[in-house]
């Protein structure tokens, strides 16, 4: 928390034995009963109403109130969950808390998943400590990035070839988008983007002028020049998780300057 300040969200699993009359779930997380974050959820994380059984609530830290003086290095020593209800609620037992966690919301997203299969090994010495296999099904498929993130940048390049190294995290095949701004050009006729690591390259042949912007989008499988789709030669480069050696080359008879900016539009994993 000391690193992320007021970013992210506190999230919790709350079991409700009845939903009639339930109006909200209040979550307090902090150091003690005099110093804590507090916030209220009136629905589940995805906007659906509370339901009988387990509910997952998420409250953004930036929207939570702060009571007392917080020690960010001791967050989590104090937890409180309160279920508020109207007079239509019956006397009930069985309310449960399944856990509280903090999640970085800028680069993650929650998806509903369902247990598809659950197998417990019969070879164990203690029923509370057994090997198991759990299979979950997420019908919404692949989790896409919640935003664009710069992973490589350079400006004022005036050489015919620019080489750099980028590293992709996550578990999903990287599909980056490259943006090249040409600030000055003399007889520039071709720009080539190559991934030396995979051996792939793409050529965009045309007459370039100062002010042109070239976007090489491997996610949408297209090349744009000044916002208009254009033809290209060879193939759009593949990229792998981990380190990739990138090379940008230009064919020209004069001096040129390019600004290069790389953004990855899909870095998150498969669920």
Question: For 174-194, how does the pLDDT look when each residue is reduced to its tens digit (9 = 90+)?
Answer: 889 999 998 887 888 999 999
* pLDDT tens by residue, 4-55: 567 889 999 999 999 988 999 999 999 999 999 999 999 998 889 999 999 9
* pLDDT tens by residue, 123-151: 776 767 778 888 877 766 555 555 666 77
Class for the domain spanning 149-264: mainly beta
Portions of the chain given CATH number 2.60.120: 149-264
DSSP β-bridge partners for residue 182: 258
Q: Helical H runs in the chain?
A: none
Max mean pLDDT range (74-78, 157-161, 201-205): 201-205
CA 205 centroid distance within chain: 34
The residue-averaged pLDDT of 70-86 equals 89
Residue 263 confidence (pLDDT) = 47
Contacts for 5 with CB less than 8 Å, ≥ 6 apart: none
Share above pLDDT 90 across residues of the chain, in percent, rounded to a whole number:
45
- The owner of tokens 């699993």 is 13
> What is the rounded CA–CA span in Å between residue 95 and residue 156?
61
> What is the rounded CA–CA span in Å between residue 223 and residue 244?
20
DSSP β-bridge partners for residue 135: 117
Residue 155 confidence (pLDDT) = 79
pTM of the entire predicted model: 0.50
């Amino acid at each position: 928390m000391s690193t992320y300040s007021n970013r992210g969200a506190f999230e919790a699993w709350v079991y409700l034995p009845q939903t009639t009359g339930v109006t909200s779930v209040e979550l307090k997380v902090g150091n003690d009963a005099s110093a804590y974050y507090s916030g209220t959820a009136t629905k589940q994380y995805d906007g659906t109403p509370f339901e009988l059984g387990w509910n997952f609530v998420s409250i953004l830290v930036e929207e939570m109130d702060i009571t007392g003086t917080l020690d960010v290095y001791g967050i989590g020593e104090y937890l409180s969950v309160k279920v508020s209800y109207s007079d239509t609620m019956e006397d009930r037992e069985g309310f449960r808390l399944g856990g509280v966690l903090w999640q970085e919301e800028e680069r993650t997203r929650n998806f509903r998943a369902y247990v598809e299969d659950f197998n417990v090994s019969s070879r164990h010495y203690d029923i509370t400590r057994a090997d198991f296999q759990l299979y979950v099904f997420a019908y919404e498929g692949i989790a896409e990035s919640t935003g664009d993130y710069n992973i490589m940048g350079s400006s004022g390049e005036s050489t015919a070839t620019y080489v750099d190294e980028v590293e992709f995290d996550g578990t999903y095949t990287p599909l980056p988008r490259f943006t090249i701004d040409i600030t000055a050009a003399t007889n520039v006729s071709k720009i080539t983007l190559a991934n030396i690591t995979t051996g792939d390259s793409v050529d965009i042949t045309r007459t370039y002028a100062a002010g042109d912007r070239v976007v090489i989008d491997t996610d949408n499988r297209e090349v744009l020049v000044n916002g208009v789709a254009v033809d290209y030669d060879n193939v759009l480069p593949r990229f792998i998780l981990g380190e990739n050696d990138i090379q940008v080359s230009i064919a020209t008879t004069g001096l040129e300057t390019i600004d290069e900016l790389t953004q990855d539009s899909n870095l998150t994993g498969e669920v």
